[in-house]
Amino acid sequence: MQEDIIHAVLNGNDTLALLPTGGGKSICYQVPAMAREGICLVISPLIALIKDQVGNLKKRGIPALAIYSGMSFLEVKKTLQNAAYGNYKFLYVSPERLETHLFLEFLPSINVSLIAVDEAHCVSQWGYDFRPPYLRIANLREHLPKVPVLALTASATRKVQEDICDKLDFSATKQRFQQSFERANLSYSVFNVASKQNKLLEVLRNVKGSAIVYCKSRKHTKDVAELLKLNNINANFYHAGLSNEDRNKRQEDWINNTTRVIVCTNAFGMGIDKPDVRVVVHYSVPDCLENYYQEAGRAGRDGKRSYAVLLYSEKELEDLKQQSRIRFPDREEIKRVYTAVMNSIQVPAGAGEGCSYDFDIVSFASAFKVDALTATYAIKTLEQEGILLFSDTFFKPPTVVFNCDQQTLRDFEQVHPELDDIVKGLLRSYEGIVDFPTAINETLLAKFINKPKEYVLQQLGRLQQLGIVEYVKQKESPQITLLLNRMYIDSFVINLDNYLQRKLQFEERIQAIIQYVLQASECRSKVIAAYFNDAGVKSCGICDNCIHLKLTPVSMVDFEAIEAYLYTLIVEGKVTINKLLAQSKTIQREKLWNVFNYLQAEKKVVINKDGYLERIY
């Protein structure tokens, strides 16, 4: 559908494009941007993705710019000047940057030809990854009324699609494209196993080639990677708590097949284009089908047979059902956490808007005697209410600025000739470093002056001690940024209606992933596609359920007997799926599932909002 989407954009229509993971979304705005005069404004929430896209464009000789957190005021200003007066085709920005005074000051001078909104599901608070700054994208349309908007996402339900079009203020001539969610080469399987470790080893021994293993916690990533290494499988772990340098190195080693298996949290994978991943294993059950589909879809982008394997236990499913209570603390709990956060960063009432503060959530929880999980989700709610931002992957590069005039610097070099190479290296590598703090790359600087990186770090420290430069080291500590002044305690408010609606949507997503896990007869590709309103997908023939169906036919006599048995159980009282399975051990499980799923598809049996089975007459 790429060509159709491109023509819709070139015709000036607001367009929503749903293309599955690996479906080539970036081409849909890059081609029309190159075909038009002016610059394409690309809005993306992910710094790593922005850097990757800009780097790829530059390799192709296409001039592109980016603005993201960690850049100094003067760096941002210079970038905006280049966008306004230079020959650039793309400007990538995070949504938080769109309403800054500096951005709005330059916007009238920038000839914007297209607004591309990547990860557009983030605009909907009914979706799985709502980000409040996305709601402010529509304000751009007041400044750029004739510029078309292209919204792109890999996963959005029908309700979220409608919300995207509404929140981005799409015109009546809007067009919508949804590529099929079918992945003919990807085999989905789900296993309820006593030992996940043994099953994981079995999968990785049977499926050769590059692999991803997704875990829910940082600790798990390390533990599982160690397990694989002990069993002679080349693996490493990845999560947001590692340094930026470590993350980049581990990612590159995996992309280049130096590391076979990367064991990671969901911080890994976005924007990575590696076509030869043969298997993606979920070591834990994700909390929604949107995440699962995106993550599993990183396997087999080269079109060759690949595998998406999900491992689970009954306890995990029970824990998932409790997540709503944990992730949506009540208003008083949120208020208590908010007050504690403000006290911990020492912000007085009526102040703090726009300021950022170092914030370690574990230390905070310990110091203020708050449960760490409660604190995390209360802060998430405060983010979704547009009150603050919390980033546990904040990265600010090192900066250097010279503190002296040219004559003083020349005199200094006469007295300290041993520092001449580092001084010359800085001056020749970074324009403007004499006038304002400039982001530097210590590794590249070391290569430029042909010295070890440790030498560069030591010499920069000496220059700082001698007062010649102001050297601010790389910063990667988590940050809290206040979007509003601290509220007075008696005026604390959140939108409870929206909050409770988000809670309900979350519970529905939990129910959907549990049903997917427990589904034992319907083709898994069809289940996923139906969730995203794609009804045209045929049975894949290669998932675990399709294979089991071939092996376990149900005769009419068996069908009628099992159907009657199910109706008897349902009539007798409150029966959940788990209880049904526990009470039906004399019936072959696959046959039971075949009958149950048929009855469910025919709307003869439903699962009500309380999770109990009901017969429909």
Q: DSSP states of 315-346 as a string?
A: HHHHHHHHHHHHHS--HHHHHHHHHHHHHHTT
Of residues 2 and 586, which shows the higher confidence score? 2
Look at strands 438-439 and 399-402 and give their pairing.
Answer: antiparallel
Low-confidence winner among 127-141, 211-225, 248-262 (lowest mean pLDDT): 127-141
- Name 613's Cβ contacts closer than 8 Å, sequence gap at least 6: 569, 570, 575, 576, 577, 580, 605, 606, 607
What is the predicted pLDDT for the residue at 355?
85
Residue bearing the bigger pLDDT, 21 or 251 = 251
Is 482 a residue whose pLDDT tops 60? yes
| Fold: same for 186-312 and 399-472 | no
pLDDT confidence bin for 391, thresholds 50/70/90: confident
Q: What is the dihedral sign for C-alpha 190, 277, 266, 137?
A: negative
Residue 386: the pLDDT is 85
* Position 370, amino acid: V
Give the pLDDT band (50/70/90) at residue 552. low
pLDDT for the residue 70: 64
Q: In CATH, what class is 320-395+477-499?
A: mainly alpha
Pick the CATH number of 399-472 from 1.20.1630, 1.10.3470, 1.10.10, 1.25.40: 1.10.10
pLDDT tens-digit map of 26-58: 999 999 999 999 999 999 987 767 877 888 899
The confidence score (pLDDT) of residue 390 equals: 85
Residue pair 470/437 in contact (Cβ under 8 Å)? The answer is yes
Closest-CA residue to 185 (of 292, 281, 300): 300
Q: Supply 393's token pair.
A: 């992957």
The yes-or-no verdict on residue 608 having pLDDT over 90 is no
Section 392-413 average pLDDT: 80
Q: Which two tokens stand for residue 37?
A: 């005069």
**CATH code of the region 2-178:** 3.40.50.300
- Asked if the model's pLDDT at residue 393 lies above 60, the reply is no
| 554-603 pLDDT tens trace | 777 888 888 888 888 888 778 888 888 788 878 887 788 878 877 876 67
Could you read off the pLDDT of 336-350 as tens digits, one per residue? 999 999 999 999 999
d(CA 406, CA 412): 10
Residue 41: count other Cβ atoms within 10 Å of its Cβ. Answer: 26
Please list the residues that pair with 258 across neighbouring strands: none
Q: Are 5 and 57 in contact (CB under 8 A)?
A: no
The structural domains of the chain, with segments of one domain joined by +, span 2-178, 186-312, 320-395+477-499, 399-472, 520-615
Residue 483 contacts residue 345 (beta carbons within 8 Å): no
Are the C-beta atoms of residues 436 and 477 closer than 8 Å to each other? Answer: no
- Average pLDDT estimate for 209-231: 95
Strand 261-264 with 306-312, pairing: unpaired
User: Who contacts 190 (Cβ-Cβ below 8 Å, separation ≥6)?
Assistant: 309, 310, 312, 516, 517, 519, 524, 544
Confidence category of residue 271, pLDDT binned at 50, 70, 90: low
pLDDT interval class at 125 (50, 70, 90): confident
What is the model's pTM? Answer: 0.71
Please check the confidence at residue 300 and state whether its pLDDT lies above 60.
yes
- In whole angstroms, what is the distance from residue 510 CA to residue 176 CA? 27
Give me the percent of the chain exceeding a pLDDT of 70: 97
pLDDT band at 605 (very low <50, low <70, confident <90, very high): confident
Q: Say what the pLDDT of residue 498 is.
A: 86
**Largest interatomic CA distance in the chain:** 99
Strands of 235-238's sheet, edge to edge?
186-192, 306-312, 277-282, 210-214, 261-264, 235-238
HEC readout, 80-118: HHHHHHCCCCEEEECHHHHHCHHHHHHHHHCCEEEEEEC
The pLDDT of residue 458 is 93
Alpha-carbon gap, residue 302 to 210, rounded angstroms: 12
Q: How much is the pLDDT for 37?
A: 94
What band does 308 get if pLDDT is binned at 50, 70 and 90? very high
* Residue-level pLDDT at 95: 86
What integer pLDDT is reported at residue 227 of this predicted model? 96
Mean pLDDT of the chain: 89
Closest CA to 46 of 151, 156, 138, 122: 122
pLDDT at 547: 82
Q: Is it the case that residue 296 has pLDDT exceeding 90?
A: yes
Average pLDDT estimate for 56-66: 92
Name the E strands within 422-562: 438-439, 469-472, 479-482
| Pairing outcome for strands 112-117 and 186-192 | unpaired
| Bridge partners, residue 475, by sequence | 396
> Residue 581 is which amino acid?
L
Kindly tell me if the per-residue pLDDT of 551 is higher than 70.
no
Most confident of 265-274, 331-340, 426-435: 331-340
Confidence band of 479 (pLDDT split at 50, 70, 90): confident
Among all chains, which residue has been given the structure tokens 């009628």? Answer: 560
Q: State residue 396's pLDDT score.
A: 67
State the pLDDT at residue 392.
63
* pLDDT of 545: 87
- pLDDT per residue over 460-470, tens digit each? 999 999 989 99
Confidence at 269, pLDDT banded by 50, 70, 90: confident
Between CA 297 and CA 279 the distance in angstroms is: 10
What is the rounded CA–CA span in Å between residue 161 and residue 154?
Answer: 11
- The CA dihedral of 229, 230, 232, 237, to the nearest 10 degrees, is -10
DSSP summary character for residue 121:
G
User: Mean pLDDT throughout 183-187?
Assistant: 92
User: Would you place residue 514 in the very low, low, confident or very high pLDDT band (cuts 50, 70, 90)?
Assistant: very high
Q: Does domain 186-312 have CATH number 3.30.70.260?
A: no
**Which of 71-75, 299-303, 391-395 has the highest mean predicted lDDT (pLDDT)?**
299-303
Sign of CA dihedral 515, 519, 524, 527: negative
Mean pLDDT score, 510-536: 91
51 in Cβ contact with 212 (< 8 Å): no
Q: What letter represents residue 595's amino acid?
A: V
Split at pLDDT 50, 70, 90, the class of 66 is: very high
**In whole angstroms, what is the distance from residue 429 CA to residue 448 CA?**
8
